[in-house]
Chain A
Amino acid sequence: MSTSAPARPFEPDFAAAAKDAVLSGVIALGIFGPLVGLRTTQNMSNQLIVESHWGLVAIIVGIVAVGRFVLRAFVFPRMAMWKAQPKVESTAEPSFLRRNIKTIGLVFLLFYPVIIVSMLGYQQSIKWVDNFGIQILIYVMLGWGLNIVVGLAGLLDLGYVAFYAVGAYSYALLATHFGLSFWILLPLAGILAAMWGIILGFPVLRLRGDYLAIVTLAFGEIIRLVLINWRELTNGSAGISSIPKVDLFGWITFNVADPNYVGKVFGLANSSAYYKIFLYYLILALALLTAFVTIRLRRMPIGRAWEALREDEVACRSLGINTTNTKLTAFAIGAMFGGFAGSFFAARQGFVSPESFVFLESAVIVAIVVLGGMGSMIGVAIAAVAMIGGTEILRELSFLKVVFGSDFNPDLFRMLIFGLAMVTIMVWKPRGFVGQREPTAFLTERKAVSGSLVQEGHG
C-alpha cells in the first residue's frame, strides 16, 4: 500500500516526555486540587469547615505525571513502531493455531462434555456443560443468525431478541397446548420467526441507518410488551412453565418416569446431567447448522448480494438486484435462526417469560456480532465465548471477597468490568476480532480483504 515510514530504531525522547509529564501534572493539579484536595465537612458543632487532603492530591498528580512520562517515552513510540510495520506481520506464515482454528475448535466442542465429565464426574459437570457450554453456544448461534443481518447485509437490527422470543413462545405455547414434539415445533418456530421477520421487514426496510436501528429496537420492545399484556395467551409476566423436555425422536426420553428414560435404556444411574449433555449436543448441532447454511449462502448469489448491499446499495440497484427482496431474505433467514435458538431456549429452561427478552439481550447479541467483526463466523464465535464466558466467569469471582472484604459483591461489578472490557476491545480492535474479510470466490489465490476497505453498511 502506501509507503510505510522507515522503521526507526527505538529511542525514547526523554525531553519531550518530561515536558509532557509536567504539563499533565499541572492539569491534574488543576482538576484534582479543588476536587480532591479541598473537601467540605461538618465538625462536631455542625459548622461547615474545609478539610484539605494535599497528600492525596500529591499522590494523584504524581501518578498522572509519571504515567504520562512512561506513556510518552516508552509506550507511544512502541505503538507507532507496531503500526508502521503491519505488512511484515501479514506476510508471515500464519501460525499453526491460526490456520487450524476451525478444526481445533470443532474437535474441542465435540469432546467438551466428555472432557468435563471425565474430569469432574456427572454431577459436577452440569454447571460447566450448562452454564458455559450451552449458554455460550446459544449466543454463538444467535450471533451467527444476527451476523447475516448485521455483518453480511449491513442492516443494524437492534430488536433481534424479538425473533428469539417468537421462537421461544411458539415452542412453549404449541408444546404445552397441543403436546406437539420438539422436532415438529423446531422448524415451525423457525418459520414463524422468519414470517415475523418479513412482516417487520416490509415496512422498515426502506429506512436506513439510525432510523432502521430505532424501529427494530421498537419492534423488539413491542413484542415484549405484547407478551406481557396478552395475558390470556401468554400468561403475562408470570410466563409459561412446565414446557416439555426434548426427547430423542421419541426413542429415548429424559423424564425419569418414562419407560424409555435414558438411564433405564442404558442402565445408568438417574442424573440430570444426561439431559444437559444431550442439550449441549443439540445446540451444537443447531449452531453448526447455522454456520453451515451461512457459509454456503455466502458463496451463493444471495449471499454476495447481501455483502454487495452492505458495500453500496445504489450500485446494487444499478446492477438489477432487487434490494428490497435481498434485505427481506437477510431479515427472514436471520430471524429463522433466532427462532430455532428461541425454541431450544424454551425447551432447555422449561420456562419462558418476557423477562428473558429484554433489550439488553439484543444489545449483547449485537455486541457479539460487532466484536466478532467483518461478518466473520469465527470472530462471532470468539466474541460469544469472550462475552458470555466472560460474564459467567465473573460470577465465579467470589475469591475477590478475600481481597476486598466479605461485603464485596462481585456481581455488582460484573456489568462494569464487562463494559470496560468492551471499550478496551473496541479501542484495540476497532473492526472486531477478525479484521479481515474472506472473499467468496477466487481465480488463483484466496487473499483476505483488509478491514479498512470493507464498508459497515448504512441501513
Chain B
Amino acid sequence: MPAPSWEKDPVLSVEHVTMRFGGLVAVNDLSFAAGRGDITALIGPNGAGKTTVFNCITGFYKPTQGMLRLQHGDGSTHLLERMADFKISATAKVARTFQNIRLFSGMTVLENLLVAQHNPLMIASGMTVLGLIGFPAYKKAEKRSIEKAKYWLDKINLTDRADDPAGDLPYGAQRRLEIARAMCTSPELLCLDEPAAGLNPRESGELNQLLLDIRKTEGTSLLLIEHDMSVVMEISDHVVVLEYGIKISDGTPAEVKADPRVIAAYLGVDDDEVAEVEEALDVVVEEARQ
C-alpha cells in the first residue's frame, strides 16, 4: 500500500504526543499527520481528548511527551511544543477557534477582526510610537487592515453588521465571525473546534462552503474537530479517530467509515464484540476475494 498523500507533504506532524493531567492520560502516544492543503478531521466520542490535542498544538498546554512539527510551504519548520502560545499564532501561523466561542463580545465585529491583525499593525505603527505621532505609514496600514476585514466580512455575510457588538450576533454568525477572525491572522493551519456545533442544517451547509472556499482561495490547511459525521464525510480528505486519547483509526473518510473499531466506538460496542465484528468483516472480505 503506498504512503497516503498526507504523509508526503504534511503541514503538521504530531509525533508520539502524550498529555497527562495527574493520573488521567487525556492523549496517549498520538501520532498523525495533516497534509498541506487538506481538510483533516479529528473525530471521536466525548472526552476522547480532541480539544486537548488542539490545546497542545496551539500551545495552551505543553504536552507531557512528544513532538509537534509545523512545516510552512516555504520549508521553514517550527517545533510547536517549544513555543509560547502567542508565538505559535504569530510566527508558526497556526490559528484556532474555540469549542465555546471566545469572541471579544463588547467590541464590534470590525474591531474583532482588527484585533486579529494586531502584529502586522503593531509593526506598521512602529511599536505604537510612530503611529502616535501620526506617521502616514500607519494610516495606510490601518486602511489595508480594514480592507482585509471587509473582505472577510463579505465572505461570512456579516458586512451589514460590521458596526454591531460581536456579543449581539446570533450564534451561527458568532461561529462564522470567530473563523473570520482566525483567518485575519493569515494562518498556514486553521484549527476549528466543533465549528458546526449548534448550527442548523442550512447554516451547517453554509459553513461547509466557507471551509471549502477558505481552502481553495487562501490555500490554508484545515484541521477540524467535528461531531457531525455528515460534515466530516462531506468535506474532509482525511479523518483521524480518537478514543480515550488513543488513535483508533486514520485514513480517508470512506476507510474510516468502514473501520469496525470506529463503528464500535461510535455505537458503544464492547471490546469482544469488536472482535466479533472484525471476524465477520474478515469473512466478508474473504468471500469478496474469492
Contacts and interface: CB of A to CB of B under 8 A. Distances in A.
Given A301-B125, A439-B111, A444-B163, A317 B146 contact: no
Interface of A: 1, 293, 296-297, 300-302, 304-305, 307-308, 310-312, 314-323, 329, 437, 439-447, 449-450, 453-455
B264 interface: no
Contact of A315 (B104, B122, B146, B164): B104
Contacts of B122: 301-302
Contacts of B168: 1, 453
Given A300-B125, A320-B119, A442 B108 contact: yes
B98 interface: yes
A145 B164 CA distance: 28
The interface size bin for chain B is 35 or more
A455 B86 contact: no
Nearest to A314: B102
A6 B259 CA distance: 58
A388 to B, nearest CB: 29
A296 B138 CA distance: 13
B167 interface: yes
A342 B150 CA distance: 45
Contact of B163 (A1, A320, A442): A442
Contacts of A297: 128, 132
B211 to A, nearest CB: 18
A437 B167 CA distance: 13
A446 B163 contact: yes
Contact of B146 (A312, A443, A445): A443
B115 A316 contact: yes
A312 B104 contact: yes
B165 interface: yes
B130 to A, nearest CB: 10
Given A300-B138, A310-B106, A320-B119, 8 more contacts: A293-B132, A300-B125, A301-B131, A304-B111, A312-B105, A318-B95, A320-B118, A441-B142
Given A296-B132, A300-B131, A443-B150, A453 B111 contact: no
A315 B60 CA distance: 11
Contacts of A319: 86, 89, 95, 115-116, 118, 181-182, 185
B162 A444 contact: yes
A311 B85 contact: no
Contacts of A312: 102-105
Nearest to A450: B165
Contacts of A307: 104, 106-107, 111
Contacts of B104: 307-308, 311-312, 315
B114 interface: yes
Interface in B45-94: 58, 60, 85-87, 89-90
Contact of B121 (A301, A315, A323, A329): A301
A439 B108 contact: yes
Contacts of A305: 115, 118
B60 A320 contact: no
Nearest to B109: A443
5 contacts: A304-B114, A307-B107, A312-B105, A321-B115, A439-B163
Contact of A440 (B89, B111, B159): B111
Nearest to A454: B106
A137 to B, nearest CB: 23
B194 to A, nearest CB: 15
A282 B182 CA distance: 46
A441 B146 contact: yes
